[in-house]
Structures are given as C-alpha cells and as structure tokens.
C-alpha cells in the first residue's frame, strides 16, 4: 500500500473510533431521540447523528487534514482540500436508537464521483469490526482479506430493502429468493456481500426521495468493488459517475458475482 494511503487510512480509523465512543457515551447517558434539526437534504436529523457529525468535524481539525467534507446531515463543507471525505456519521440511526446491532460509521475519501473514491472505511459500531479498501489494493476486515462468494443457485441470501416504500419488483425479487435479510443499514448490508455472507444487496424505493445518497454507499462501493463484486443502480446502470453530494439519490444493486445478474433477469427484476 502506498505510504500516503496508509497514513490516510490511519486517520479514518481514528475518526471511526471517535464516533464509536460517541455512540457508547450516548448509550450510557439519558439519551433522547429528539429531532433537533433538518438534514442537508431536508430529512429529519436525530441528535445522535448530529453528535457523531460534530465529532468527525472536530477530528478533522485535530488531525490537521484539509479534506472537504460531504456529510449526510450538514451537507458540503469546503475546507480547502483537493479531495473530499464522504461521511454517513451513523448509518442505521433507527437501529442504533433502538439498540438493534446493525449500524456503522461510513467514511470514503476521493474526488467528485463514486468512481473517484480511493479509500473506503466502515466500522461496525456494535461488533467493533473495521472494514476497509484502497483502490486496487483489495478489501479487508480487521486486516484480513475478504472476498465475495461465487453464485450458487438455491442457496442464495439476498439483502433487500423492504416495507411500504419498496417497489413492487423489489418485493417480487424478495419473494423468489430462498433467504432474505432486511437489516436497515446500507453500508453494513454491502459489507455482508463483500465478505461473502450475502449474495446481493437491493435497495429500490418507489419514490426517488426515499432512495440512497452517496453518503450511504460511497465507502461500501469501494469495499465491495475491491472484494470482487460490483455496484450498479437497480436497472444495471453504472454508478461510476454518481456525484459525491447529498442532492441526488439512486437505487442500488450490489452483487458479489455477476451471475447474480442473470438470476435477477430470470426473476423478472432486470
């Protein structure tokens, strides 16, 4: 790994540990799940998200890096750098507030688009596992390489976003799969595909405003790609040029083996 990437990875690890401490402090204090503000995209923001985001900003100053910031809550903060840190301070906020063990901090460093992400790191805020990948350098969990699994019909596990906002075709795909998981944390579910625990991740809501932003998927995008998988939108179109901001949203289809795409087509999804 280039020395510059190693130093940047160490910064991201320290940021992720600081966010995990914020979550632990919140669990041990009289925590309220009050909405305290509106996020940059106009959706409600919980105080836990704000606390985590404030800690990330503090850590960027403490580390002395000039990276710009794109965060789910505050939007874009120009800090004078050439690259941008794309952040979801707490991915899976509802899970965290209800003590369900599926939430992460998601950090990705790059330029302009998802295809421009050089380094992605996601920390599981409950188990403490750290997943990371550098462009062209493979994907890792706690320092050990991870890979996607080969497609095996009739033993598939799909992570599919379900509930009333989900499209009918996403629900039909779920109905055809042998096993389904819906965990409520995009980055975590993409990690499950990257490490071979699941075969694919599907997120497609009927209203575009309920779909995902770059902040949700930037780190998972790089990790899954380096683990041997791929990420498109729900129609199979490349997301390489999807911008690093909070204004636009997209559906997501993450897969470990391209053979899944044939399965999805035969199931009437693609």
pLDDT 10s digits, 143-168 = 999 999 999 988 999 999 999 999 99
Q: Would you tell me how many other CB atoms lie within 10 Å of the CB of residue 239?
A: 20
Q: How sure is the predictor about 47, in pLDDT bands with cuts at 50, 70 and 90?
A: confident
User: Using one digit for the tens of pLDDT, what is the confidence trace for 86-121?
Assistant: 999 999 999 998 889 999 999 999 999 999 999 999
Q: What is the pLDDT of residue 30?
A: 60
Every domain of the chain and the residues it spans? 3-146, 157-266
Tokens of 135: 């462009």
- Reduced to 3 states, what is the DSSP secondary structure of residue 232? strand
Q: How sure is the predictor about 40, in pLDDT bands with cuts at 50, 70 and 90?
A: low
Q: For the residues of 77-108, what is the DSSP string, one character each?
A: E--S-SSEEEEEEEETHHHHHTT-S--EEEEE
CATH architecture of the domain 157-266 equals 3-Layer(aba) Sandwich (3.40)
Q: What stretches of 19-99 adopt beta strand conformation (E)? A: 35-38, 44-46, 68-71, 75-77, 84-91
Higher model confidence: residue 221 or residue 3? 221
Q: Beginning with the edge strand found earlier in the chain, give each strand of the sheet holding 252-255 in spatial order.
A: 179-181, 157-160, 200-203, 252-255, 230-232
Average pLDDT, rounded, for the chain = 92
CB 106 within 8 A of CB 220: yes
Right CATH for 3-146 from 3.30.70.2740, 3.30.540.10, 1.10.579.10, 3.40.50.720: 3.30.540.10
Q: What is the pLDDT of residue 45?
A: 47
User: Using one digit for the tens of pLDDT, what is the confidence trace for 219-259?
Assistant: 999 999 999 999 999 999 999 999 999 999 999 999 999 99
Q: For the whole model, what pTM was predicted?
A: 0.93
- Reduced to 3 states, what is the DSSP secondary structure of residue 161? coil
């Amino acid at each position: 790994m280039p020395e510059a990437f190693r130093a940047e990875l160490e910064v991201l690890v320290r940021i992720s540990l600081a966010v995990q401490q914020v979550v632990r402090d919140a669990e041990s204090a009289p925590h309220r799940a009050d909405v305290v503000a509106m996020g940059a995209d106009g959706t409600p923001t919980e105080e836990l998200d704000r606390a985590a985001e404030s800690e990330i900003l503090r850590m960027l100053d403490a580390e002395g890096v000039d990276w710009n910031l794109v965060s789910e809550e505050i939007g874009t903060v120009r800090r004078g750098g050439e690259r941008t840190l794309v952040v979801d301070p707490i991915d899976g906020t509802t899970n965290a507030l209800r003590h369900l063990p599926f939430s992460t901090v998601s950090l990705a460093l790059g330029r302009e688009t998802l295809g421009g992400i050089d380094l992605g790191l996601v920390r599981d805020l409950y188990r403490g596992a750290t997943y990371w990948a550098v462009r062209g350098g493979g994907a890792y969990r706690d320092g050990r390489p991870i890979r996607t699994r080969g497609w095996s019909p009739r033993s598939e596990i799909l992570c599919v976003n379900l509930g009333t906002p989900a499209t009918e075709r996403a629900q039909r795909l779920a109905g055809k799969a042998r096993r389904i998981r819906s965990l409520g944390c995009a980055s975590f579910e993409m990690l499950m595909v990257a490490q071979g625990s699941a075969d694919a991740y599907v997120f497609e809501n009927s209203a575009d405003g309920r779909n995902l932003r770059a902040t949700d998927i930037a780190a998972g995008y790089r990790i899954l790609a380096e683990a041997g998988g791929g990420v498109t939108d729900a129609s199979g179109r490349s997301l390489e040029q999807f911008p690093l901001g909070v204004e636009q949203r997209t559906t997501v289809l993450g897969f470990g083996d391209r053979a899944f795409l044939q399965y999805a087509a035969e199931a009437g999804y693609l």
